[in-house]
A and B are shown apart, each in its own frame.
Chain A
Amino acid sequence: MMKRILSRGYLLLLLALLYAPIIVIAVFSFTEAKVMGNWTGFSTGIYEQLFSGKSVMIMKSVENTLLIALIAAAVATLLGGIAAIGIYNMRHRQRRMIQFVNNIPMLNPDIITGVSLFVLFVFMGFTQGYTTVILAHVTFCTPYVVLSVMPRLMQMNPNIYEAALDLGATPFQALRRVVMPEIRSGMISGFILSFTLSIDDFAVTYFTKGSIGLETISTQIYADSRKGGLSPEWRALSTIIFLAVLLLLLVINYRTMKHAHNRQSAIRAK
């Protein structure tokens, strides 16, 4: 019993440590003081300020972040999904080779990916901006899509594709009706993973955004913190993002739990 309390207490302590900064931000998003840590009375002023249309830079960075993440994740999912089917049908040696290269962007620290792509774009004479940032994000997202689709293909019974062909389906039909449903869940999780990786990225964006004034949330925070002091609106924005993520995770979790529960009762009913 004692051991149980100790171990639960340890987990709680760690979690408290992990959440302490976020809670401090959330609490201080409801006061207007310029410097965080000063409590000048409860107010929703920062939130009003954020949505008043005056916080142009912050809102623009949010828009850029979401747009880049959406495009990069979509391209990565398509590219990675098709590639996974190809890799699955490759011979062993070719497969090992491409899987090895596929691992490189995942092992490389962001700064190396960023610097190396920066050098590439300089070398090719690309003007850096939206396109280069999106290409860079596709580069580090696609490997994760490939990795989340591959296991689904491995689990698939290879004969059902052949069976579809024998039964007169064209390769395209067999792909759409037989292979796609099998790998859809892998592609969805690849997409979600890519989207979050893209939103979270700082270093790669920093090196590939060029000097046209393109800023995402990360690079804007970095620029602001260098100029000394972040404007209070960031506290409100962070709180909103945190609550949105929390809500999303709760919904996903609730759905998977319900799904598992339904499946269990279905099995029991049999």
Chain B
Amino acid sequence: MGRLFRLFGRRSNWALPYAVFLVIFVVLPLLLIVLYAFQDAEGNFTLENFVHFFNQPEVIRTFVYSVGIAFVTTAICLLLGYPAAYIMSRMRSNSAVIVVMLFILPMWINMLIRTMATVTLFDFLKMPLGQGALVFGMVYNYLPFMIYPIYNVLQKMDHNLIEAAEDLGAKPRQVFARVVLPLSMPGVMSGVMMVFLPTISTFALAEMLTLNKIRLFGTVIQENINNTMWNYGAALSFIMLIIIGITSIFTYRSKDGNLNDTGLI
């Protein structure tokens, strides 16, 4: 007991329980995915799982399609969300707060309930479920994740810079392209990441919005795990991890390595 007391007498050691927790529940599971991905069912080292992946044109097509859908969703969210964030950043702060709240409010409702609502809306308007519904549903679910970080960056931006550019003779379009847009890039990047990463990995949304007609990569992973094809499922997860790693490197360059600048916290 005395030793324990001395150990936690140093406050830097207070992070120890959490450090142990992180190793067990974050690092170890990811290592296990890598391990399982390179093993067969008996536990021998093998590349069979990846060979299997590349020999299944159907799964590869699903993979490419999922990435494509995620790109389209992210692009639409950016096109719709940027102007909204820009308009909000120019509003008086009181009304801006209310509008921001209105955009965030739907996010507090369970995503599957929201998706169920989207399905209902399509039924109600007698529109067919399928690819269109899928993209609409994903944009609908993730748009606030795009708007908020961009709004946050734009709102903190020094407006004197815009005036300076105008004084120096820049036309409105030039002001936007040369001053506003470059300064808002950190927000755009975190928005892109917060939309793209969840959309490539979703499975329940696709099933509900397309009545199981369209399968996404997440669906394939989920089916393999459910059918106790753990090694193959782990290999597919590993492939997704690589995609995530690449996306993160491209979009996530923060000085001291935390997500504070997304403004969500």
Interface residues in chain A, defined as those with a beta carbon under 8 Å from any beta carbon in chain B: 7-8, 10-11, 14-15, 17-22, 24-25, 28, 35-37, 79-80, 82-83, 85-91, 94, 96, 98-112, 115-120, 122-123, 135-136, 138-139, 142, 144, 146-148, 150-151, 171, 189, 193, 196, 199-200, 202-203, 206-207, 217-218, 221-222, 225-226, 230, 234, 238, 241-242, 245-246, 249, 253, 257
Could you pull out 27 A-B pairs where Cβ atoms are within 8 angstroms?
A7-B83, A10-B87, A14-B80, A17-B140, A22-B106, A82-B18, A83-B17, A85-B11, A86-B14, A90-B15, A96-B256, A96-B257, A109-B201, A115-B234, A116-B237, A147-B259, A147-B265, A151-B260, A202-B112, A203-B204, A218-B112, A221-B113, A222-B208, A225-B207, A238-B113, A242-B109, A253-B97
Interface string of B1-23 (1 = CB under 8 A from A): 00000000111111111110110
* Docked CA distance A171–B103 (Å): 44
* Docked CA distance A117–B21 (Å): 13
B250 within 8 A of A: no
Query: Dominant SS at the B interface?
Result: helix
Interface residues in chain B, defined as those with a beta carbon under 8 Å from any beta carbon in chain A: 9-19, 21-22, 24-30, 32-33, 36, 80, 83-84, 87-88, 90, 97-99, 101-103, 105-106, 108-114, 116-118, 120-121, 123-124, 140, 143-144, 193, 197-198, 200-204, 207-208, 218, 221-222, 225, 230, 233-234, 237, 240-241, 244, 248, 252, 256-260, 265
B208 touches A109 (CB 8 A): no
A87 touches B15 (CB 8 A): yes
A238's contact among B18, B90, B116, B230, by CB below 8 Å, is which? Answer: B116
A21 touches B240 (CB 8 A): no
- Which residue of chain B lies nearest to A179 when distances are taken between CB atoms in the complex? B11
- Which residue of chain B lies nearest to A237 when distances are taken between CB atoms in the complex? B113
* Docked CA distance A81–B123 (Å): 46
A119 touches B234 (CB 8 A): yes
* Docked CA distance A98–B187 (Å): 24
How many whole Å from A199's CB to the nearest CB in chain B? Answer: 7
How many whole Å from B228's CB to the nearest CB in chain A? Answer: 10
